[in-house]
């Protein structure tokens, strides 16, 4: 559970950071007299933000914008971060061999007895 909480916090920081970076870079081009192409950094920040805000962004899109209070939106964002934290922790546990049911370096454990 500690790993899930740490990964959820890291996800929250990365998601909000990429969103803020994307927004700041896009707004810097907003008042330009001529069209300016988005920078590579803006594209990376936008793509990162789009990925990290899934699946909550899709659910919010289906339900419609403006249909929820800010408290509900923050709860959805927090739940999304916990989901990401759990998913990454699950992948970590699977890859590290902790979910095999046997001690590291020891013989297989007979779970049927």
Structural domain that includes position 46: 2-96
> What pLDDT was estimated at residue 96?
84
pLDDT tens, 28-70? 888 777 888 888 999 999 999 999 999 888 877 777 766 667 7
- Residue 101 maps to a domain: no
Residue 103, CA distances (Å) to 45, 74, 93 in order? 41, 40, 14
pLDDT score of 37:
86
- pLDDT given for residue 64 in this prediction: 72
Within-domain flag for 110: no
Q: Is residue 9 pLDDT above 90, yes or no? A: yes
Residue 41 lies in a domain: yes
Higher pLDDT, 103 or 62: 62
Cα–Cα nearest to 4, from 93, 67, 104: 93
| Residue 62 falls inside a structural domain | yes
Whether 104 maps to a domain, the answer reads no
User: What distance in Å separates the CA atoms of residue 2 and residue 51, rounded to the nearest whole number?
Assistant: 24
pLDDT at position 67 is 61
């Amino acid at each position: 559970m500690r790993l899930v909480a740490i990964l959820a916090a890291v996800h929250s920081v990365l998601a909000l950071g990429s969103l803020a970076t994307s927004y700041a870079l896009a707004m810097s081009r907003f008042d330009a007299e001529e069209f300016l192409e988005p920078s590579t950094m803006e594209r990376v920040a936008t793509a990162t933000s789009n990925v990290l805000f899934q699946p909550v962004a899709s659910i919010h899109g289906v339900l419609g914008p403006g249909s929820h209070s800010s408290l509900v939106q923050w709860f959805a964002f927090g739940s999304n971060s916990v989901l990401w934290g759990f998913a990454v922790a699950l992948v970590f546990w699977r890859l590290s061999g902790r979910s095999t049911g046997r001690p590291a370096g020891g013989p297989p454990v007979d779970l049927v007895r």
